[in-house]
Chains A and B, each alone.
Chain A
């Protein structure tokens, strides 16, 4: 199996996902959910009839164009529903819709606008913290790989693979959010952090094998050693990914609707994390070793295009 040889094919596949995602991000942006930008809070009491399950209310809200609402039971016969800003007319329409579909009568106790529960600046500052974490990882990897030449390349490649995963997750989110009316909430931020953690973790395992093999196969070309290392760790990468993906998949299929968005984001991220550690991070080392960018814009004779 020669993964490194077809590296430009795999880079291409990554770009095929990332570029549309980035365009979607620039054109449509990421719609922010109520925990970042605030919205409306509706506090209702059910006078007659059974209190509906929160998920039923979430679904009804979604049908009426308010996705990602947060529904909480309140006392014994009430619900508190947070959603994006709505007008009085929209509220009346929703209350009427609830009364007719659940067969209940409702009193509105409170209807008011609420501010964000997670400041928007938190998301921006989180980006700063991730940047700082990337720097820390870069320094650590450079130190841990000090035995091999050009140790910093491993750190930089791991960070590139991590950025790749962030770009995939954010890009896919931008596309999906546009078509499925999803909003970016604080759970998305959590999912993104999880993906970052997983990505670097996964990449380092492959790099570790390269580090070890470089000492064993001193005569072999760098490219061959890298490829050999990827193949050797392939079973482990796939098995680890399988166990995580299996758990996430059951959660996505059978879990509650309120965490589905979160789980799907994780699924995309974990898949991307494993993909990038096999097909991007290590091949980038080879590209760097061969200084292949010198031939990117020249004649194609020596360039191995997949």
Chain B
């Protein structure tokens, strides 16, 4: 059977690839242009991760608008997701705190760095100092007079808020402490904030004529008006761009910006420009947040419980393998081999995509194992029927396959339809459990169809070519 042997080659290639990816210390692929490591991503429920507690960085006496807090929560969630941490948990705690949990992370400091980029962007008036002074301030922390709307000082707290750009230099003592963050702030002049990133509607990375990267932004009507007024009256002066009180760029105003569109130039690399764009996009927090604690946490499902479950799962799997071999004899053993291939390929895909595995995800996987077993059972029952009807083994195998195919196709297609809708739903409404489940189930169903139809069949024909059926009919349970 040349067809059988021809199929063996792609099967072998796919299997070798899968094994390469599945290796516990897979070296990954690092050839020109491709830089991929393969690791299994496990969710918080299975491996734990880093839990960080964020708190609104405003005085305890200030009441915080709940809707601002929920916007901040959304933004933090977006930022964590945009940084490629999937299945993270962002959860409000009390009225002024947010719990963030990053799965699979082991270094609290690293996670902290991710979250801490609170991305409060300010455009500040630097007309009060010379260009040389401004240059020395780049990448240093400064004070600004911006205060979140929610933390307007209460009546008994005196405050002096500069109202015009001209009065923007205030001795650091005159601004109240309520409007500065607890981030260590350099002593020095306090600059006036012309506007914040909240007025930015759109951000993108572009290349300029010199081939460098710039971050382009668009402003809403209100922001555009402020920007127009300010830039018109400050041509030739410096407009500092400050992120979380750190000066990141000091462009000078060449011409008045009247259309509400501008670019930030700063000798960025592609990565830096993208990172800045990301921060601008998701970083316009309505309330400043600070990280209170950050530490590694164990799995929500409990380490001890998971160890037991893993063992139980292994026992269960072995029982299934044994059952298939005992009930279906030789074909059962072949199916077990096909199931092994199935598991290897599916696991490789999880690592390749990558899919963050959580318990719902594993549930989807286990269900798809059931589907894979089912496809084999369907085929073998059909082969048995054909054998009982007196057909030769080879005929029986081909007929069995052809007859079992419509039921495998239709049942799996309807499962895939369900997966597709659930995935869309999970993706749209941020229901990550539903998304994880449908994704792993869909991958599993597709791979199971491949292994049942291609791998089992090829293996079975291979065995047939090398043994004499009439002498070993009992091996087939006939």
Residues of A within 8 A of B (CB): 41, 53-55, 58, 70-75, 78, 80, 110, 112-119, 121-122, 125-126, 128-130, 132-133, 136-137, 140-141, 144, 158, 186-187, 189-191, 193-194, 196-198, 200-202, 204-205, 207-209, 211-212, 232-233, 235-236, 239-240, 242-244, 246-251, 253-259, 262, 266
Contacts and interface: CB of A to CB of B under 8 A. Distances in A.
B269 interface: no
B302 A242 contact: no
A31 B395 CA distance: 57
A55 to B, nearest CB: 5
Interface stretch (B31-39, B120-128, B311-319): B311-319
B431 A246 contact: no
Interface in B280-319: 295-309, 311-313, 315-317, 319
26 contacts: A53-B303, A54-B298, A58-B302, A73-B297, A73-B298, A74-B295, A114-B92, A114-B94, A117-B89, A122-B431, A126-B431, A129-B434, A130-B422, A133-B418, A136-B418, A136-B420, A190-B359, A190-B363, A194-B441, A198-B367, A200-B415, A209-B407, A244-B370, A255-B308, A256-B307, A258-B301
B131 interface: no
B253 to A, nearest CB: 44
Contacts of A137: 414, 417-418
Given A126-B431, A137-B418, A239-B377, A256 B301 contact: yes
Contacts of A122: 429-431, 434
Among B302, B304, B415, chain A packs the most CB atoms within 10 A around the CB of B302
B180 interface: no
B433 A186 contact: yes
Contact of B425 (A126, A200, A204, A236): A126
Interface string B30-54: 0000000000000000001001010
Contact of B311 (A71, A247, A254): A254
Interface string B306-350: 111101110111011001100100000000000000000000000
Contacts of B91: 114-117
Interface residues of B, number: 76
Contact of B323 (A113, A114, A242): A242
A121 B425 CA distance: 12
Contacts, number: 236
A250 B318 CA distance: 11
Contact of B297 (A74, A189, A197, A201): A74
A189 B419 CA distance: 15
Nearest to B89: A117
A255 B418 contact: no
Given A115-B93, A208-B411, A250 B312 contact: yes
B305 A54 contact: yes
Contacts of A236: 374, 377-378, 381
B413 A75 contact: no
Contacts of A255: 305, 308-309, 312-313
A140 B377 contact: no
B411 to A, nearest CB: 4
Nearest to B308: A256
B118 to A, nearest CB: 21
Contacts of B437: 190, 193-194
A189 B438 CA distance: 12
B21 interface: no
Contacts of B352: none
Contacts of B297: 72-75, 80
Contacts of A202: 411
Given A190-B433, A190-B437, A136 B421 contact: yes
A256 B296 CA distance: 22
A243 B370 contact: yes
B414 A204 contact: yes
Contact of A246 (B93, B308, B316, B441): B316
Query: Chain A binding site: helix, strand, loop or mixed by DSSP?
Result: helix
Contacts of A55: 302, 304-305
B319 A250 contact: yes
Contacts of A239: 327, 377, 381
A118 B91 CA distance: 9
Given A74-B296, A247-B319, A201 B434 contact: no
Contacts of B421: 129, 132-133, 136
A105 B291 CA distance: 28
A205 B312 contact: no
Contacts of A211: 406
A290 to B, nearest CB: 25
Given A243-B323, A243-B373, A118 B433 contact: yes
Among A114, A132, A201, A211, chain B packs the most CB atoms within 10 A around the CB of A201
A54 B97 contact: no
A205 B313 contact: no
A69 B431 CA distance: 21
B441 A197 contact: yes
B80 interface: no
A257 B309 CA distance: 9
B93 A187 contact: no
B166 interface: no
Given A41-B99, A80-B297, A190-B360, 19 more contacts: A55-B304, A73-B298, A121-B429, A122-B430, A125-B425, A133-B417, A136-B420, A140-B414, A158-B414, A187-B433, A189-B434, A197-B415, A205-B374, A240-B377, A246-B316, A246-B323, A247-B313, A250-B312, A256-B306
A53 B302 contact: yes
B457 to A, nearest CB: 18
Among B48, B301, B319, B366, chain A packs the most CB atoms within 10 A around the CB of B301
A122 B367 CA distance: 22
B403 interface: yes
Given A205-B407, A236-B378, A256-B302, A73 B422 contact: no
Contacts of B370: 198, 240, 243-244, 247
B412 interface: yes
Contacts of A125: 425, 429, 431
A132 B420 CA distance: 11
Contacts of B312: 250-251, 253-255
Nearest to B438: A193
B410 A144 contact: yes
B264 interface: no
A201 B412 contact: yes
A73 B316 CA distance: 28
A193 B422 contact: yes
What 6 A-B pairs come out closest when comparing CB atoms?
A256-B305, A73-B298, A54-B302, A247-B316, A208-B407, A129-B425
Contacts of B313: 247, 250-251, 255
B422 A74 contact: no
B223 interface: no
B238 interface: no
B305 A113 contact: no
Contacts of A212: 403, 406
